[in-house]
Amino acid sequence: MFRSATTTMIRGVRHLSVARPANDKVGFIGLGNMGAHMARNLLKSGKTLSVFDLNQSAVDDLASSGATAAASPAEAADGATTIITMLPSSPHVEAVFTGENGIFETLGTDVLCIDSSTIDPSMSKKVCAMTEERGCDFVDAPVSGGVGGAEAGTLTFMVGGSDAAFNDANEILVHMGANIVHCGDVGTGQAAKICNNMLLAIGMIGASETMNLGVKLGMDPKLLAGILNTSTGRNWATEIYNPCPGVVDGAPAGRGYTGGFGSALMNKDVGLALDAARDAGATIPLGTLSREVYTAMCDAGYAEKDFSSAYEFLQEPNKWSK
Amino acid sequence: MFRSATTTMIRGVRHLSVARPANDKVGFIGLGNMGAHMARNLLKSGKTLSVFDLNQSAVDDLASSGATAAASPAEAADGATTIITMLPSSPHVEAVFTGENGIFETLGTDVLCIDSSTIDPSMSKKVCAMTEERGCDFVDAPVSGGVGGAEAGTLTFMVGGSDAAFNDANEILVHMGANIVHCGDVGTGQAAKICNNMLLAIGMIGASETMNLGVKLGMDPKLLAGILNTSTGRNWATEIYNPCPGVVDGAPAGRGYTGGFGSALMNKDVGLALDAARDAGATIPLGTLSREVYTAMCDAGYAEKDFSSAYEFLQEPNKWSK
């Protein structure tokens, strides 16, 4: 096995980075809406894949495209040189690595583990430490870009890990994404993701309140959006994804808030921001209130609607009284 | 006096727009940080000005540049074809128009009144109605662009009023601003201003929380800002006016939050948004909390600091516990 010249210090131990071999064998665990597309793009790039998901039909789909079906995370990891996990939450990641029939039962040495799940950065650090104890590398590499980006292979990966591990991960991630960003040490990929999504939630609720207020004060919504977007109030939501129907062509607001990024998913991400802020001792008043708004939206039947439906929710009488 | 061909319906009365005469005589009331620069730019454009302020030295300064010093709003308005007011708050505007020695004591007919104060839109509508009863026109025309924009004559004016009144006002405002936007009927200039500034407050506090959280989670602040600014979390504050020191050259964060737009001024504007939202029945959870944050900042000694000092404030222990 060839080793790259790159060396880096991890926890005081001189750690040699392993250049991924050309005949990289990838264990891929988690074939949901995102993961299935990502795995398929890796197959297209010529990688050998062993795949696992609790949903057997997702495994069968990939197997029919040339992947090897595995019966457990341990089986998918067996003999792999790279392992990719794309799972719903922190407990899933912990279980897939440490649980019965988990990755650690069969993990080799010098294996690169890439976790693309969006989870609490403290869990990323915990799993990283256990992975390194076994002589392997770990990066957290959550994504943005949605299902469309996963299918098109244009995702953004926000990667936390050592320089050497990042360089190795980059060789794999380029087959699934268009933009691979090294955010710092392990956990900072998650930090970047949850920071972005917390501010996105704040910006979307803020845009919803503002558009709603302006319309009630007699303004034309397109004119108001135009003023905001050429002034200091502007944000991504007002410009690209305006929550008021009819302002931005193609935004979910124009199709009853279908498609897009569901409020339940945003609620999960803002919840991770709250957990991380509590652990880090950071004060996030608007983030905290945004979480309350998205939780209230989920309770009121907006869980599956696009997160820009905050505009509609805030017009419902008696749903929000704080 | 020439009349333009433009006619428009106001309150069911057919109202003829008056083209401003070439020898426009302007009564200018309110020579503060903004108003003094605006009046000076009008003088430079060749207008005849009669000016009033409670601060005699501000009046004397303009008089030494060629304006006529007036002893009261009534005296400044006497014989004026256009009246411009630039005052701190709704009660000031009401008093200057309706009070003793106020504008209404000497107001002629066919006079165009332009109020560039940032006030409650309901007060704009009230003063507009009283102005129209006297056979005159009124527009609300609050500004953005700050003291620098006032001095350079590059302000943005957000104008509410009839088409005819807007067209007339535009002829004057172009001497003080670079961007004159017709927002709709009277009051919508204020609506646009307070909507923008409420969302700006939300965006700034949100940016402050997010940068603070990211740094505490181990991210380099410039790297985090770069990720936000190429992703969906971005807003004007993260891009142009980042509240974290060292991220954006020239932002107030880099000079101890001096200069810029004071937290007390932002607190006032968000307060206007709350009043307007209450009157209009609009639900603004993040706007309401942003007002609480800026009020707490003013109470904690941040009133004169730039409004981006929310970043610093949120790091102070025990100052914010909601």
- Summary mean pLDDT of chain B: 92
CB–CB contact B287 A213 (8 Å):
yes
For residue A1, the distance in angstroms to the closest alpha carbon of chain B comes to: 33
Q: What share of chain A is helix, strand, coil (3-state, %, to 5)?
A: 50, 20, 35
A24 or B212: whose pLDDT is higher?
A: B212
Of the spans A7-11, A286-290, B6-10, which averages the highest pLDDT? A286-290
Please indicate if any CB of chain B lies within 8 Å of the CB of A213.
yes
Distance from C-alpha of B173 to C-alpha of A225, rounded to nearest angstrom: 23
Query: pLDDT tier at B19 (50, 70, 90 boundaries)?
Result: low
CB–CB contact B227 A183 (8 Å):
yes
Which of A7-11, A38-42, A197-201, B254-258 is the least confident region? A7-11
* pLDDT number for residue A32: 95
Nearest CA in chain A to B318: A283
> Nearest Cβ partner of A231 from B144, B212, B230?
B144
> Nearest Cβ partner of A216 from B228, B230, B282?
B282
Catalytic residue among B47, B193, B268, B305: B193
The stretch B214-238 carries a mean pLDDT of 96
* pLDDT number for residue B11: 34
**pLDDT, tens digit, 9 for 90 and up, residues A100-130:** 999 999 999 999 999 999 999 999 999 999 9
Task: Quote the percentage of chain B above a pLDDT of 90.
Answer: 89
pTM score, two decimals?
Answer: 0.90
Query: pLDDT tier at A54 (50, 70, 90 boundaries)?
Result: very high
> Nearest Cβ partner of B216 from A227, A281, A289?
A281
Where in chain A are the domains? 3-185, 191-313
* pLDDT number for residue A145: 87
Query: pLDDT tier at B16 (50, 70, 90 boundaries)?
Result: very low
Which CATH number is A3-185 given?
3.40.50.720
Predicted confidence (pLDDT) at residue A2 exceeds the cutoff of 70: no
Predicted confidence (pLDDT) at residue A239 exceeds the cutoff of 90: yes
Residues 272-291 of A with CB under 8 A from B: 273, 276-277, 280-290
* pLDDT number for residue B234: 96
Chain B positions in Cβ-Cβ contact with residue A162 (cut-off 8 Å): none
* pLDDT number for residue B260: 87
> Nearest Cβ partner of B209 from A205, A227, A286?
A286
- The phi and psi torsions of A9 (rounded to 5 degrees) equal -95, 125
Q: Are A116 and A127 in contact (CB under 8 A)?
A: no
Please indicate if any CB of chain A lies within 8 Å of the CB of B149.
no
Nearest CA in chain A to B186: A218
Chain B positions in Cβ-Cβ contact with residue A227 (cut-off 8 Å): 158, 181, 183, 192, 195-196
- At a CB cut-off of 8 Å and minimum separation 6, what does A121 contact? A140, A160, A187, A188, A190, A191, A194, A276, B217
DSSP state of B316: S
- Mutation pick from B286, B289, B294 vs chain A, by most beta carbons of A within 10 Å, is B286
B18 or B83: whose pLDDT is higher?
A: B83
- Among the residues of chain B, which ranges form H helices? 35-44, 56-64, 73-77, 90-98, 121-133, 146-152, 163-173, 188-216, 221-229, 236-240, 263-280, 285-299, 310-313
* pLDDT number for residue B317: 72
Distance from C-alpha of A34 to C-alpha of A156, rounded to nearest angstrom: 13
Predicted confidence (pLDDT) at residue A61 exceeds the cutoff of 80: yes
H or E segment to which residue A52 belongs = strand A48-52
CB–CB contact B227 A158 (8 Å):
yes
The stretch B80-87 carries a mean pLDDT of 98
For residue A169, the distance in angstroms to the closest alpha carbon of chain B comes to: 19
Predicted confidence (pLDDT) at residue A176 exceeds the cutoff of 50: yes
* pLDDT number for residue B52: 98
Query: pLDDT tier at A22 (50, 70, 90 boundaries)?
Result: low
> Nearest Cβ partner of B285 from A203, A207, A289?
A289
How far, in whole angstroms, is CA B74 from its chain's centroid?
23
Catalytic residue among A44, A47, A126, A193: A193
The stretch B30-37 carries a mean pLDDT of 96
Q: Are B277 and A200 in contact (CB under 8 A)?
A: no
Chain B positions in Cβ-Cβ contact with residue A205 (cut-off 8 Å): 285-286
Which of B9-18, B39-48, B199-208, B229-238 is the least confident region? B9-18
- The phi and psi torsions of B178 (rounded to 5 degrees) equal -105, -15
**pLDDT, tens digit, 9 for 90 and up, residues B47-68:** 999 999 999 999 999 999 999 9
Q: Is B125 designated active site? A: no
Nearest CA in chain A to B224: A192
Which of A131-145, B1-15, B250-264 is the least confident region? B1-15
- Mutation pick from A185, A231, A247, A279 vs chain B, by most beta carbons of B within 10 Å, is A231
Query: pLDDT tier at B320 (50, 70, 90 boundaries)?
Result: low
* pLDDT number for residue B21: 59
Chain A positions in Cβ-Cβ contact with residue B287 (cut-off 8 Å): 206, 209-210, 213
CB–CB contact B217 A285 (8 Å):
no
The stretch A130-141 carries a mean pLDDT of 98
Distance from C-alpha of B154 to C-alpha of B180, rounded to nearest angstrom: 10
What is the per-residue burial (b if ≥16 Cβ within 10 Å, else e) of B220-231? ebebbbebbbeb
Distance from C-alpha of A142 to C-alpha of A96, rounded to nearest angstrom: 17
Chain B positions in Cβ-Cβ contact with residue A192 (cut-off 8 Å): 214, 219, 224, 227
- ipTM for the complex? 0.89
**pLDDT, tens digit, 9 for 90 and up, residues B177-217:** 999 999 999 999 999 999 999 999 999 999 999 999 999 99
For residue B14, the distance in angstroms to the closest alpha carbon of chain A comes to: 22
Q: Are A230 and A222 in contact (CB under 8 A)?
A: no
CATH topology (fold) of B191-313 = N-(1-d-carboxylethyl)-l-norvaline Dehydrogenase; domain 2 (1.10.1040)
* pLDDT number for residue A4: 35
Predicted confidence (pLDDT) at residue A7 exceeds the cutoff of 50: no
CB–CB contact A184 B223 (8 Å):
yes
- Cα angle B20, B21, B22 (rounded to 5 degrees) comes to 120
Predicted confidence (pLDDT) at residue A18 exceeds the cutoff of 60: no
* pLDDT number for residue A321: 64
Please indicate if any CB of chain B lies within 8 Å of the CB of A293.
yes
Nearest CA in chain B to A277: B213
The stretch B27-37 carries a mean pLDDT of 97
* pLDDT number for residue B3: 32
> Nearest Cβ partner of A227 from B158, B198, B203?
B158
Distance from C-alpha of A251 to C-alpha of B269, rounded to nearest angstrom: 30
Predicted confidence (pLDDT) at residue B78 exceeds the cutoff of 60: yes
Predicted confidence (pLDDT) at residue A5 exceeds the cutoff of 50: no
**pLDDT, tens digit, 9 for 90 and up, residues A92-101:** 999 999 999 9
Task: Quote the percentage of chain A above a pLDDT of 70.
Answer: 92
**pLDDT, tens digit, 9 for 90 and up, residues A261-301:** 999 999 999 999 999 999 999 999 999 999 999 999 999 99
Task: Quote the percentage of chain A above a pLDDT of 90.
Answer: 89
